[in-house]
Amino acid sequence: MAKFRRALLPLSFLLMFASVCSAQIRSGTVEIFLFGGYLFGGDFLPAANALFTGKVDVEDHATYGGRIGWNINSLFEVEGQFSRTDTHFVSSGNDTLFGSAGTRLGDLTIDYYHGIHDVQFRAQPGRSLVSLGMGAARLDADVCAVRLKPCSNPDPDWRYTASIGGGIKTFITPHFGLRFDGRYYGTLLHERRRQLSHDHCHHNHDDWLSNGDVTGGLLFAF
Contact at 8 Å (CB) between 106 and 141?
A: yes
> What's the pLDDT tens digit per position in 41-100?
999 987 777 888 888 999 999 999 999 999 999 899 999 999 999 999 998 875 545 556
Alpha helices in the chain (DSSP H): 2-23
Cis peptide before 125 (omega within 30 of 0): yes
DSSP tag of 46: G
Contact at 8 Å (CB) between 211 and 162?
A: no
Contact at 8 Å (CB) between 86 and 61?
A: yes
Q: Within 13 Å and on the Cβ side, how many CA atoms surround 94?
A: 0
Residue type, 127: R
User: How many of the other CB atoms lie within 10 Å of CB of 91?
Assistant: 20
> What's the pLDDT tens digit per position in 185-204?
999 987 554 444 444 444 44
Contact at 8 Å (CB) between 178 and 216?
A: yes
3-state secondary structure of 71: strand
> What's the pLDDT tens digit per position in 119-158?
998 866 678 999 999 999 999 999 998 887 888 899 999 9
Dihedral angle, C-alpha 66, 72, 77, 83, nearest 10 ° = -20
User: How many of the other CB atoms lie within 10 Å of CB of 36?
Assistant: 13
Is residue 110 pLDDT above 80, yes or no? yes
| 17 phi/psi in degrees, rounded to 5 | -65, -45
Cα gap 48→108, rounded to integer Å: 15
Predicted pLDDT of residue 78: 97
Cα gap 71→69, rounded to integer Å: 7
Cα gap 186→133, rounded to integer Å: 10
Dihedral sign, CA of 148, 151, 156, 161?
Answer: negative
Predicted pLDDT of residue 14: 37
Q: Which residue has the higher pLDDT, 8 or 29?
A: 29
Cα gap 119→73, rounded to integer Å: 10
